Structure 1
Amino acid sequence: MILPVIMAGGTGSRLWPLSREHYPKQFLSLDNSFSMLQNTIQRLDGVDTLNPLVICNQEHRFLVAEQLRKIDKLTNNILLEPVGRNTAPAVALAALKSLSKDNDPIILVLAADHVIDDTPEFHSIINKAIEYAKNDKLVTFGIVPKTPETGYGYIKRGQDFKVDTSESFYVDSFVEKPDIITAQSYIESGEYYWNSGMFMFKASKYIAELNKYRPDILSICEDSINSSTSISEFINIPHDIFKNCPDESIDYAVMEKTKDAVVISLDAGWNDVGSWSALWDVSSKDNDGNTITGDVWAKNSYNCYINSDNKFVATIGINNLVVVNTKDAVLVMNKDESQDVKKIVEYLKSSKRREHIHHCQIYRPWGHSDNIDQTPRFNINKVTVKPGGAFSLQLHHHRVEHWVILSGTAKVSIDEKEFLLTENQSTFIPIGVKHSLTNPGKIPLEILEIQSGSYLASDDIIRIKDQYGRCDN
């Protein structure tokens, strides 16, 4: 049986301003339906697999849980990395967690932020790879290159197997991202593939090879799994152990060293959507070559990517541009310079701004919060609490809060007094007073939250009791 291991960590910035540290691209919906993470999992429908194991960081845990819940794939299957240590340790944690006396699954390692257009071909190659994995080979999937890309690593194929009609070879070598002349020579040789970062192998085989070449990584991962705890949907890895693990990719730790690495060619419309131009490439377009999302009117505009999530956007006489409007940022850029988006993020970091960290809409385990206005002395938020959702029992040392019910019913506790509030009713929470809120109803609860005081940062939330396991004590 195949166990999909979905790598959903990372805080990618190449699709800023849609992608932020707290909401990276794997959680974005590129077609107004499912997110890239959800698509990665649903793409496996039709393949005989176990429920996926998703690896992510602590910051994204509730977002991952909600996205899995929406596609009915949420069990105790979210493994939380306390600190990023690259793919070799992450997959080791998954392999160790999956192994038992009677269980040695075939692991299929996938990134949560890739696009694959030809699902039937993808399934066909997966089914072929299973036979190699069963015979103790470590399979990587090499993408048949279309252009001399300098943004990808490459795999050079070696001796072929000649056991079936598929393109399958021993791996000769992994090579770093080349310059354009070298990349062109790779394409012309016909012996190189783009490195997809997707793998398949038996859990026990990966552990055996990791033990052979990087026993230091394996030892720390074993200690981490042995000391892990499970709470609700989450498998928690202890920070004090895992922080000492070396930072190493599967390629460096195992695949470049093992004698059992196999590359199988994959030509299924793969794209890692690593830039706005790449996103435009894989998106549907109108007759003028434009990809348009949101409230947009375009005249004499050609070959553009235009996305607006709240305001009306109009364009006239533009060509080959990316125009992205969010509630707190606007990007206008020549599509050919999309690799320079990282310079914007570097500027935001150096300027100690927040637009690279999170959106105005912030997701919480109980729902989400939309920032309406913000100054050093007050915040105004529109808060949506899903049915059954609840704030933690908490207090603040530096701010007061006013809550106004916009719709739904709130069960409020202030200083151990409980009462119900409905539409147009309000309440006040003084400094230092314990308080909480629950949505006991069947519809979403919407409130206007006004915070005011001398210090408004989130570390002034002193949690006393929390149904989502967010208390430190």
Structure 2
Amino acid sequence: MSETKQPRAAFAGQCHAIILAGGSGTRLWPLSRNLLPKQLLVLGGELTLLQQTVTRVLDAFEPSRIWVVTNEEHVFEVRKQIAEIDSELEGQVLAEPLSRNTLPAIMLGLEKVASVDEKALAAVFPSDHLIRDNKAWTNDLVRASELAVEKRFVTFGVEPSKPETGYGYITLGREIGEGAFEVNGFVEKPELSTAEEFLRAGTHYWNSGMFLFRVKDFLRQVAKCQPELWDWWMAREESSMVQGYRDIPNISVDYGVVEKIDNIAVIRAGFDWDDLGSWEAMYRLGSKDENGNVIQGDVLAMDCRNSLLISEGGKLAAVGLDNMIMVQTRDATLSCPMDDVQSVRTVVDRLKSEGSKLVESHPTVVRPWGSYSVLEEGPHYKIKRIQVNPGARLSSQMHHHRSEHWVVVDGTAEVEVDREPRILVENQSVDIPKASQHRLANPGKVPLNIIEIQSGPYLEEDDIVRFDDVYGRVKK
């Protein structure tokens, strides 16, 4: 657990932080997936991007004033990761029942803030950005809070260093203070020629996606600009806000509110910033060898230059590559020119249209009780390796369409089949007939590993009926 610092006096006690930790894991495919987006990955260093964000925010905010918004698919991993930084934050995680873009996620966080003080300030931070110089970042928050008190909606702009087509831009207006400007508009991911003109003219900043505002001012704009969302917000006292989530607009805060109001200010960021939005960014920020290559994992590079080579699967052998991206996982490989990395999103869209599972998850999937890895699958069968953490237990469940056979590899398994308990140790096995109620737990102090062989006409994860679950996953 890290030692948290006292927040800066300039906005201590009047500002809350909302960290957005959703995301679909498209731009850094195949390393990031829907079930494991980039903010939950370690992309250099020892901490995930989410953990880096939480550590930075704790330098400026008390844990009780930090809210982390994610979705049901990621909530257990998010809680686990932030608890490793500060255990007080584990109870500050809010889960959307399904992803509805940034504006509804912010509203979910603002419900908690408004319940404390609707006159408070709120700062919104993405969890998947790389920021260096935390002191400069905190200083900018102080400046932003001063503008927000004056009823301005404040965003943070990054002075561009190159013509970037993958970022949104902020059009600068009248200067209202040192390094602070009114905003004349927004430009979403321009063509290269337009980005080059922005760089020459010095009239635009990159949009960092971070905001600071007075809660009641923001809510007033939501009521004006998004009446459907406002109706959902106003009904929160009658029922939980997560109810009706499927029916609210899937809309970003930029498009839904920010681009529609006129009292916006932008502060020139005094810190280094990158949203790690492409493999080119990973290459640019990575540690390079004598040939200009960034290499991670089990890679053999021969006569390669200025390339990003990553392997999280088997041996990756690359010969004669120049200005290329090659990323290999156990089940997928991406290869493309460095200049064409924005096409990765198109690749993911194509895979989605084909119904590919490669956009959803890795072969190893993290669960609150441990993880499972798909070793092999084919028509009517699937083989998994399941690891259960010490003291953890899966839900009591049954399957309509499959039977299972479990073999203990190491550790001790507590198994219950149709309410009949038994203990299994290494090399012992048990059959789980179709439609039988069963449960698996690890009563020991070391991880439990089993091999699970599934057989049946339908083997997907949605063929689970839960009767009891210590993680609250039983549907009411």
What's the TM-score once normalised by structure 1's chain length? 0.92
2:50 aligned residue = 37
2:341 aligned residue = 338
1:184 aligned residue = 196
Any idea what the Cα deviations from partners look like across 1:110-160, whole Å, max 9, x if unmatched? Answer: 111111123332222122212222333211001111122222222122222
The CA distance in 1 between the partners of 2:251 and 2:463, in whole Å, is 36
1:72 aligned residue = 86
1:63 aligned residue = 77
| Maintained 8 Å contact 1:220/1:244 | no
Length, aligned pairs only: 461
| Maintained 8 Å contact 2:54/2:82 | no
| Maintained 8 Å contact 1:92/1:218 | no
Which one of the candidate residues 47, 50, 61 is aligned to 2:60? 47
1:132 aligned residue = 147
2:24 aligned residue = 11
The CA distance in 2 between the partners of 1:430 and 1:265, in whole Å, is 63
More displaced stretch, 436-445 vs 307-316: 307-316
SS in 2 for 1:379: strand
| Maintained 8 Å contact 2:80/2:90 | no
The CA distance in 2 between the partners of 1:225 and 1:20, in whole Å, is 35
More displaced stretch, 65-74 vs 133-142: 65-74
The CA distance in 1 between the partners of 2:237 and 2:446, in whole Å, is 39
User: What amino acid maps onto 2:217 in structure 1?
Assistant: K
1:291 aligned residue = 294
1:383 pairs with 2:386: yes
Percent identical residues: 40
Which one of the candidate residues 118, 128, 134 is aligned to 1:113? 128
Aligned-pair Cα RMSD in Å:
2.1
| Maintained 8 Å contact 2:118/2:215 | no
User: What amino acid maps onto 1:346 in structure 2?
Assistant: D
Task: Name stretches of at least 5 consecutive residues in structure 1 with no aligned partner.
Answer: 229-235
The CA distance in 1 between the partners of 2:23 and 2:236, in whole Å, is 20
The CA distance in 2 between the partners of 1:407 and 1:72, in whole Å, is 32
| Maintained 8 Å contact 1:411/1:439 | yes
Deviation at 1:226, TM superposition (A): 5.1
Deviation at 1:178, TM superposition (A): 2.3
User: What amino acid maps onto 2:55 in structure 1?
Assistant: Q
2:366 aligned residue = 363
| Maintained 8 Å contact 1:97/1:225 | no
Within-5 A mapping of 1:234-273:
237-238=242-243, 241-273=244-276
1:417 pairs with 2:420: yes
1:220 aligned residue = 232
**For the structure 1 residues 89 and 389, does the alpha-carbon distance in structure 2 shift closer, same or farther, using more than 3 Å as the test?**
same
Any idea what the Cα deviations from partners look like across 1:9-64, whole Å, max 9, x if unmatched? Answer: 22131111111122122212101522111111112243234353122222222222
More displaced stretch, 450-459 vs 364-373: 450-459
1:209 pairs with 2:221: yes
1:142 pairs with 2:145: no
The CA distance in 1 between the partners of 2:401 and 2:190, in whole Å, is 53
| Maintained 8 Å contact 2:299/2:315 | yes
| Maintained 8 Å contact 1:401/1:451 | yes
**For the structure 1 residues 305 and 224, does the alpha-carbon distance in structure 2 shift closer, same or farther, using more than 3 Å as the test?**
farther
The CA distance in 2 between the partners of 1:46 and 1:61, in whole Å, is 23
Deviation at 1:201, TM superposition (A): 1.4
Any idea what the Cα deviations from partners look like across 1:260-280, whole Å, max 9, x if unmatched? Answer: 311101142211112111211
| Maintained 8 Å contact 1:361/1:371 | yes
The CA distance in 2 between the partners of 1:284 and 1:225, in whole Å, is 52
Which one of the candidate residues 192, 197, 215 is aligned to 2:209? 197
Deviation at 1:104, TM superposition (A): 4.3
Deviation at 1:317, TM superposition (A): 2.5
1:153 pairs with 2:168: yes
**For the structure 1 residues 210 and 120, does the alpha-carbon distance in structure 2 shift closer, same or farther, using more than 3 Å as the test?**
same
SS in 2 for 1:43: helix
The CA distance in 2 between the partners of 1:286 and 1:119, in whole Å, is 28
Any idea what the Cα deviations from partners look like across 1:250-304, whole Å, max 9, x if unmatched? Answer: 2333333434311101142211112111211122222221111112232322111
| Maintained 8 Å contact 1:93/1:225 | no
User: What amino acid maps onto 2:69 in structure 1?
Assistant: I
The CA distance in 1 between the partners of 2:256 and 2:118, in whole Å, is 24
**For the structure 1 residues 306 and 393, does the alpha-carbon distance in structure 2 shift closer, same or farther, using more than 3 Å as the test?**
same
Any idea what the Cα deviations from partners look like across 1:149-177, whole Å, max 9, x if unmatched? Answer: 22222212222223xxx401222222333
Any idea what the Cα deviations from partners look like across 1:414-446, whole Å, max 9, x if unmatched? Answer: 111112112222211112211101111222111
User: What amino acid maps onto 1:344 in structure 2?
Assistant: V
What's the TM-score once normalised by structure 2's chain length? 0.91
